Amino acid sequence: METKKIKILSVVGTRPEAIKMAPLILELKNDPFFDAALLASGQHSDMLSQALSHFGLTPDENLKVMKERQTLEHITSSVLVGVGAFLDANPQDMLLTHGDTTTTLAASLAGFYRKTPIGHVEAGLRSRDMSRPFPEEANRVLTDRLCSLHFAPTGLAAENLRAEGVSGESVFVTGNTVIDALFWTLAQNGEAKVLRGIPEEAPLALLTAHRRESWGEPLARICRAVRRLMEKHPELRLIVPLHKNPEVRNTITDILNVSGSKNIVFTEPLEYPEFVAAMNRSLFIMSDSGGVQEEASALKKPVLILREISERPEALDQGTGLLVGSDEHIIEREASRLLEDISYRESFTKRGGGSCPFGDGNASKRIADILKSYFSGRVRERFNA
């Protein structure tokens, strides 16, 4: 008699979600215990499709909710209704969501309404400030309250959940699946077009900035600091992937696309292999991204975190990150120091003994094993990254 497969639906909506969930989805699809499906909300469109295609994944359905200048209300309501309709037509044994996006919260709410167990990948991160990152902190906190299983990337994230009253029986330390994705991509060893034309001997940095709380004057301050950095160090090359949001894009290009910009490579959002290659080639990174803090730690690359607070304190204490916010003076000073002072730059890679606090590349396998135990009624073991 054939054993009934466990039906698990993974929902992703943005490029970072797709990258981080892809190794887990592949793990589930390759395991005969599961019948794994993938639903894309389309909160991002082209960027989402590019990320999934890198891992050879195609959604079983794409809600395609994205529209020009979309609001949070539009994303939330469209994903809630769309995921709900999919679950009604295709009942699942479990719904997997990831991280802190609006898709994550809305999809989890749709599952909760149908009493479908929910597993939250990358659970437990906290900044303890609902306005930073906005709206991601609220999305993550609310999602964690709806879930049956919490896959915390670090011990600190697990402690956050338990301190909030989440049952310890539902919390597992697994490592972060983004490290799985990073190592998988590095092993492909593909050519990076974005690095063509950059002299091998030239120092290179990478800049990414897009957070909603940075829009307007904070982002302008960041760009003014970077402009002065480029004027002070004409030998430096800088790669700047431009976010699709026109407000972000226009601020960056208006300030940086001036004198000295011949050493700046403006690009469309990079496909993940290209982005990994750019990170790996860079001397240091300037970013307000959460995922970059984790990836930089694994790559042993210093990252200046362009935020006032981070929900990944491990990047500061054990990893390679330094909080600089949007202070023009601090950004320029620290970037110059990283460029000029080798010993200072190397001190970042020695933090925490030089190991990555976010995982070892085996988080997806751990999560799949936990899911097997959960559905076999044998959740006894804790997995530690």
Catalytic residues: 100, 122, 136, 210, 212, 243
> In whole angstroms, what is the distance from residue 265 CA to residue 198 CA?
9
CB 337 within 8 A of CB 344: yes
State the DSSP string of 52-85: HHHTT---SEE-----TT--HHHHHHHHHHHHHH
Residues for the chain: how many in total? 385
CA distance 225 to 245: 21
Place of tokens 């601020």: 251
Q: How far apart are CA 81 and CA 219, in angstroms?
A: 34
DSSP state of 119: E
**Do 246 and 266 meet the contact criterion of CB atoms below 8 Å apart?**
no
Residue 351 has, within 13 A of its CA and on its CB side, a CA count of 25
Q: Nearest 10 degrees: CA dihedral of 126, 178, 46, 119?
A: -60
Alpha-carbon dihedral sign for residues 328, 329, 332, 338: negative
Task: Give the whole-angstrom CA distance, residue 27 versus residue 138.
Answer: 29
Q: For residue 125, give the nearest of 161, 167, 84 by alpha carbon.
A: 161
Contact of 232 with 336, CB cutoff 8 Å: yes
Give the bridge partners for 130, in sequence order: none
SS3 323: strand
> Which residues make Cβ contacts (< 8 Å) with residue 45, sequence separation at least 6?
64, 66
Phi, psi of 225 (to 5 degrees): -65, -40
